[in-house]
Amino acid sequence: MKIRGAVLEVLGAPRPYVDSKPVVVRELELDEPGENELLVRIEAAGVCHSDLSVVTGVRPRPVPMLLGHEAAGIVEKVGDLVSDLHVGQRVIMSFLPRCEKCASCASDGRTPCELGSIANAEGRLFDGARRIHDGDRLINHHLGVSGFADHAVVDRRSVVSVASDVPAQVAALMGCAVLTGGGAVINAGRVRAGETLVVVGLGGVGMAALLVGLAHDGVRVIGVDANVDKLALASSLGAHETYVPADALASGVKGNLVVDAVGRAIAFESAIALTAPGGRTVTVGLPSPDDLASVSPLLLVAEGRTIIGSYLGNCVPSRDIPIFVDLWRTGRLPIERLVSSVITLGDVNAAFDALESGEALRQVITFE
């Protein structure tokens, strides 16, 4: 079938992307789903820093690649071996498919699936196929999703079903921002009543961490970001205190749990400095491989601190998405507040400019 999708042609193009246009929206051919796959009509897709890190070349992926990994849509066809999903069902894309057989899948979300990670790195679906074509050119899949298109073929292991009462834009953000940020709080950091949670970096992931912290009774939540507009939003969402980084450090702010959601070494160092004795620092950002931080091992030992790296918030999507959906249904997790703008597919290069400049929270592409 014919689809329209946003294809990344080159890595590391110069900014502004609205001029260099590394991502080109074009008509493509999409194969029928295989026996373990689904055809999904995409309703909404979030523009995330993980997409941007591919555009910049910080996270190299094979090109050409149809981007987008945070998305939700409606099932239109199911493969012959898919028996637990049906046409018309809304699904959330999970960019980390799980075989449920390897040692990593047995780690309760601590480490990503070995086979799923290999497939993602190679730009293919879980069983090895590439279903997107541009004439004779094969187009690589982004993290098994490729949600920046009006339709996608995905592996059954790359989706989690969700009830129709969950709006598409909310469902899309469940697939990455909420799992990564929220999971850092409840899985990796295991926040407890009576503790102070500090979130460093209030983009989509950081703000999701802040919201999940606020959804827990007895947790004091502090937001830290250099952008005062994001601090204002955090305050309006219920954050007990907000600071720019320098003021947080100068004021002696300390958290029992500190989540670093920036993806830069300097922010990671700030997160460590803001962690109280006996506390946990959870880092979820994806910095450049050559962006190195300085940490004092003596400080960790003398103060009994813990540093935790967390990929996708240590989440198992099929287990954790229903938890976040229940919090949203009760009004304790207003995910819709994370949407800073709704855009079209043609706005994707400008969206990456806004994301890199720090202006945007979560821009959502819709396909109405």
Between CA 351 and CA 42, with CA 324 as vertex, the angle to 5 degrees is: 45
Q: How many whole angstroms separate alpha carbon 197 and alpha carbon 275?
A: 9
Q: How many whole angstroms separate alpha carbon 136 and alpha carbon 260?
A: 43
Task: Report the pLDDT value the prediction gives residue 368, as an integer from 0 to 100.
Answer: 72
Kindly report the backbone phi and psi dihedral angles of residue 210, in degrees, each rounded to the nearest multiple of 5, phi listed first: -60, -45
Amino acid found at 33: P
Task: Report the pLDDT value the prediction gives residue 291, as an integer from 0 to 100.
Answer: 93
**Architecture of the domain spanning 2-177+314-366:** Alpha-Beta Complex (3.90)
Compute mean pLDDT per 10 residues along the chain, 368 residues long, and list them.
98 97 98 98 97 94 98 98 97 94 93 95 97 97 98 98 97 97 98 98 97 98 97 97 97 97 96 98 93 93 96 96 98 96 98 93 93
Task: Report the pLDDT value the prediction gives residue 203, as an integer from 0 to 100.
Answer: 95
Task: Report the pLDDT value the prediction gives residue 271, as an integer from 0 to 100.
Answer: 98
The residue whose two tokens read 């004021």 is 251
Kindly report the backbone phi and psi dihedral angles of residue 180, in degrees, each rounded to the nearest multiple of 5, phi listed first: -70, -50
Q: Are strands 196-200 and 362-366 parallel, antiparallel or unpaired?
A: unpaired
User: Which CATH code, of 3.20.20.60, 3.40.50.1820, 3.30.420.40, 3.40.50.720, is assigned to 190-309?
Assistant: 3.40.50.720
Domain range summary for the chain, segments of one domain joined by +: 2-177+314-366, 190-309
